[in-house]
Amino acid sequence: MKRFGIIAALLASTSFASAQQLSDGVVRIGVLNDQTGTYADFGGLTSAEAARMAVEDFGAEAKGIKVEIVSADHQNKADVASALARRWFDVDGVDAIADLTNSAVAIAVNTIGKEMGKVTLMTGPATTRLTNEDCSPTGFHWVFDTYSQSVGTAKSVLEQGKDSWFLLTADYAFGHQMAAEITRVVEEGGGKIAGSVNHPLGSPDFSSFLLQAQASGAQIVGLANAGTDTINAIKQAGEFGIAQGGQNLAGLVIVISDVHALGLETAQGLLATTAFYWDRDDASREWSKRFQEKTGRMPGMVQAGTYSSVLHYLRAVEAAGTDDGAAVAAKMKETPVDDFFAPGGTVRADGRLVKDMYLVEVKSPAESSGAWDYYKVLRTIPAADSAQPLEQSACPFVKDN
């Protein structure tokens, strides 16, 4: 008993010593995302809840490490996000910022993080620029990107013999990058892009765009958008009889809340690539049911990825004995990821988490057993195929090394 007490005291003193290396005695993580607009269901307030679950599972209190989660709405505006990020870093003692759904926002905040040596845990944006031209030594791209979505969905559709595409593209960095990746994959696979059109972020009316898609005669109408833009486009495509006319929709960035909002009658048959499905295995189901108890809904890949990135970050803070951005980032890259989201995942020099992805098809109402039972996992996309090869990277510090 006496020996146990000595060991416990030593552990407590070690934890306390680690806490003393924190910049202000606290590890403070900000969740910055869209909480009221187009992507509010993509990550939103429930992404902050996922971050709090990571703090609980890390066992911060028992380890003598104080951790705080703060959150804010960037309103899908890069200037708003930049102002919030600078205030958080400069004034409020925030050590890392997570989620950052919206590629333009993520690029802006990741650049600030690079300047200030702060960690960014990007789970919601898609552009591959975050691990290429706009990479940061302390920046991490955790869930999906335009490469993973184009490889998974476009290659699979091409394998089905459907080789002509029309693209509806969100008119900002994410949409443009996604369209470029899809075009590359389709053309390299022997297909063609029959046409494309850009639409404003948050567009309520897709009628003119869908008429162009119908007139193109393309076999596949690819939606290079996300959030309510994807939902509205799919709903209106049903009204225009896109599927009845022999064309198929491919949702390039679909999250499970999109399917929930659409309903299986409308969404059935959609193909998508996802980094996470709550009903894939026992570990995913166990965590997801806890999440549902807290939020009233099942998690999508952004919420699950936010949990994973925050948990890995906190483990790295503990291992490094400091919240210094450079030291923590180095520890995150040298340590394998170990959780339900990315078992056996690795973090590359450019900050990209490399893990398996999954090609899924949305079930029909008859195939579903009830709410949230929405996906059939058609195949696993190996980690080696889910991210742009590192040797192709345009990230300056990767190229220099």
10-35 pLDDT, tens digit per residue, is: 344 344 344 458 888 999 999 999 99
Whole-number pLDDT of residue 5: 40
8 vs 181, more confident: 181
Residues 247 and 157 in one domain: yes
Residues 35 and 120 in one domain: yes
pLDDT band, residue 2 (cuts 50/70/90):
very low
Residues 62 and 86 in one domain: yes
Domain range for 46 is 2-144+280-356
Residues 139 and 109 in one domain: yes
Residues 236 and 363 in one domain: yes
Whole-number pLDDT of residue 114: 98
HSE at residue 310, side-chain half, CA atoms within 13 A, is 32
Domain-embedded: residue 391 = no
Number of domains in the chain: 2
Q: What is the CATH number of the domain that holds 270?
A: 3.40.50.2300
Domain-embedded: residue 111 = yes
**pTM, two decimal places:** 0.89
Burial class (CB within 10 angstroms; exposed 0-12, middle 13-18, buried 19+) of 68: middle
Whole-number pLDDT of residue 22: 87
pLDDT digits (tens, 9 = 90+) for 48-87: 999 999 999 999 989 999 999 999 999 999 999 999 999 9
Residues 56 and 71 in one domain: yes
Most confident of 23-27, 134-138, 228-232: 134-138
Pick from 23-37, 108-122, 143-157, 216-230: least confident: 143-157
Residues 319 and 371 in one domain: no
Residues 92 and 241 in one domain: no
Domain-embedded: residue 397 = no
Domain-embedded: residue 401 = no
Residues 111 and 66 in one domain: yes
Residues 219 and 346 in one domain: no
pLDDT digits (tens, 9 = 90+) for 169-223: 999 888 898 899 899 999 999 999 999 999 998 899 999 999 999 999 999 999 9
Residues 369 and 232 in one domain: yes
Mean per-residue pLDDT of the chain: 91
Domain-embedded: residue 392 = no
Residues 347 and 378 in one domain: no
